[in-house]
Amino acid sequence: MPIPRRIIIDTDPGQDDAVAILLALGSPELEIVGITAVAGNVPLGLTEKNARKICELAGRPDIKVYPGAVRPLVRRPVTAEHVHGKTGLDGPSLPEPTMPLQEQHAVDFIVETVMNEESGSITLCPLGPLTNIALALNREPRIAPRIREIVLMGGGFFEGGNVTPTAEFNIYVDPHAADVVFHSGIPIVVMPLDVTHKALTTAKRVQAFRALGSKVGEAAAALLDFFERFDEEKYGTDGGPLHDPCVIAYLLRPELFNGRQCNVAVEIASELTMGMTVVDWWGVTDRPKNALVMRDIDADGFFALLTERLGRL
Ligand code: BDR
Ligand code: CA
């Protein structure tokens, strides 16, 4: 067994964040060095608690969860209770966590870990607004060349936006943070809406989670039953897009995805298109290629992987 890839998951759970965390916990190829929580789908007090609930659901109270930023760098907080419910994790009834929240701030944890661990060994997996990552980069720019890769869920180009006509939620909530990240020089892989809208939680796929017959399988199904209702109505599809687990799946099976290197710039000036990811997919500018932007996914392969890995928990 090769040495597991070491990751920090930066997250705002969120039902799809929760499934992403479960996928990582069920995968021996990955070692979660820490989970950093950020304000996003719901305020920080809930996202950090939800992250701990999920670790406990998976029988992993040993995972360290760190509290991060309570608000975006510049703009006012925006949340998404209309999608995720009041708790951010509506659906199953999960017990209050008993594992402690770490005292160290998420930004300090990220900086300290990247500076102290071997250079090139840590991968960041942001599943929410990029506030914590930008704060860490602003605080200690020497972390940038030491980070192996950032694989993030955010943005959308061909598919447009999901919170405004042009912006995807994670980037919209903190566009200034996203701007810092896309200018960091760190290798970045982007899982935009163009991919996640092809990864639909159809009734059959959710049933496969439930059929695992385990506590985790049942909880994952209940999370997704709640989560998909909003997008099913909005898009008229069988199932909703399962965004965040695409990040973890890429680390495990990159061949499930297809994309290309291009420049990504983030709109931070116009209120009309605030938070839009302007992707130079066709190479019509000479702006530097700063990200591998994904566009396609083998959705059946993705859900087969997910079901198999949740089945290990
Ligand atoms: C992203 O926004 C959140 O609602 C989801 O958790 C995902 O990270 C999708 O736009
Ligand atoms: Ca998220």
pLDDT digits (tens, 9 = 90+) for 52-73: 999 999 999 999 999 999 999 9
Q: At what angle do helices 203-210 and 215-235 cross, to 10 degrees?
A: 170
**With 80 as the cut, is the pLDDT of residue 1 above it?**
no
What residues does ligand 1 touch, defined as CB less than 6 Å away? 14, 16-17, 41, 80, 83, 127-128, 153, 162, 168-170, 243-244
Place of tokens 């965390």: 21
The angle subtended at Cα 74 by Cα 70 and Cα 75, nearest 5°, is 80
Cα distance between residue 246 and residue 243, in whole Å: 6
243 counts as catalytic: yes
Is this prediction's pTM over 0.95?
yes
Per-residue model confidence (pLDDT) at position 228: 85
Closest ligand 1 atom to Cα of 80: 4
Count of structural domains within the chain: 1
Write down the mean pLDDT value for the chain.
97
E-assigned strand segments in 12-138: 30-37, 65-67, 122-126
**Average pLDDT in the 147-175 region?**
98
pLDDT tens readout for residues 235-260: 988 899 999 999 999 999 999 999 99
Per-residue model confidence (pLDDT) at position 134: 98
Q: What is the dihedral of CA 74, 287, 107, 244, to 10 degrees?
A: 90
**Closest to 190 in 3D by CA, of 120, 78, 266:** 266
Q: How far is the CA of 13 from the centre of ligand 2 (A)?
A: 6
pLDDT tens readout for residues 79-95: 999 989 999 999 999 99
Domain of residue 108, residue span: 5-310
Helix (H, G, I), strand (E, B) or coil at 7: strand
Query: Are 231 and 159 contacting, i.e. CB atoms less than 8 angstroms apart?
Result: no
Q: How far is the CA of 90 from the centre of ligand 1 (A)?
A: 15
Closest ligand 1 atom to Cα of 12: 6
- AA identity, residue 50: N
**With 90 as the cut, is the pLDDT of residue 180 above it?**
yes
The structure tokens listed for 279 are 């992707």
Q: How far is the CA of 191 from the centre of ligand 2 (A)?
A: 12
Per-residue model confidence (pLDDT) at position 232: 87
* Nearest ligand, measured from the Cα of 153: 1
Per-residue model confidence (pLDDT) at position 38: 98
**CATH code of the domain in which 233 resides:** 3.90.245.10
